[in-house]
Amino acid sequence: MKRFDGKVALVTGGSSGIGEATALAFAREGAKVVIAARREEEGVKVAKAIQAAGGTASFVRTDVSKEADITAAVAHAVKTYGQLDVLFNNAGIEGKNGPIAELSGVDFDATFLTNVKAVWLLMKHALPHLAKTKGAIVNNGSVVADIGMAGTTLYSASKGAVHTLTRTAAIEFIKSGVRVNAVSPGPTLTDMTGRMFGSQDNFRAFAKSAVPAGSPGRVEDIAEAVLYLASAPFVVGQLLTVDGGLTAQ
């Protein structure tokens, strides 16, 4: 029997990167997967890949900066598959980065709307359904919430908020039988990190020098950590760091 047989997982930002890898991993472990993302072509492609491999998946176009889209995504999961067992709060943006003096309130609001408010709203709207299944929430944080990295203040602060939301929601939600945890990825090779560093080659060079493991992480490494958190019954309110030893220095 697979870990998630009979379970339904909602993955936001599931059209690429860590979200795509996690959606595929949930499906391999037996889950019915709902991929919620803005990019329809890419999201449908992931759903079809799962279906082609014998799994069950559907796509729902979702902009997590809009509460109506959030409620629609949760409703789609429940209406389509009858329940909700896992929410992976993965969708996020890097936002505008640079020195604080060069950033605006508009930049701040845009980053926090998608990276923090959306996480809060998704947890809120998923809770009633997860309580019925004694399900789990995994939020996607980042090691930059815990270490200083110049020029990433808005992104780092938003991920710090995600870590705190995770701990607080974990204490609240466990009363309903719902576990909340977060994965905290270190340098991981994605389109986003390539954009943040100017190119993926620049990012690989940074990771080679900064990460004790000598290379950036793979999206599959983060996906495996998410599946662990979603299936570990006595893990509550924890941040699982997956960073190749970066923060152990």
pLDDT at 174: 98
Residue 155 annotated among the catalytic residues of the structure: yes
Residue 77 in tokens: 């999961």
Helices (H) and strands (E) in the chain, counts: 9, 7
pLDDT at 195: 79
pLDDT in tens, 202-249: 878 877 878 898 888 899 999 999 999 999 999 999 999 999 999 998
Instruction: Give the CATH superfamily of 8-188+219-243.
Output: NAD(P)-binding Rossmann-like Domain (3.40.50.720)
Q: For 110-143, give one letter per residue: b (16+ CB within 10 A) or e.
A: bbbbbbbbbbbbbbebbbebbeebebbbbbbbbb
pLDDT in tens, 93-130: 989 989 999 999 999 999 999 999 999 999 999 999 99
54-70 mean pLDDT = 98
CB atoms within 10 A of CB 101: 5
How far apart are alpha carbons 203 and 188 in whole angstroms? Answer: 9
The number of angstroms, rounded, from the C-alpha of 21 to the middle of its chain's C-alpha atoms is 11
Q: Which of 4, 88, 155, 173 is catalytic?
A: 155
Residue 119 in tokens: 């996480």
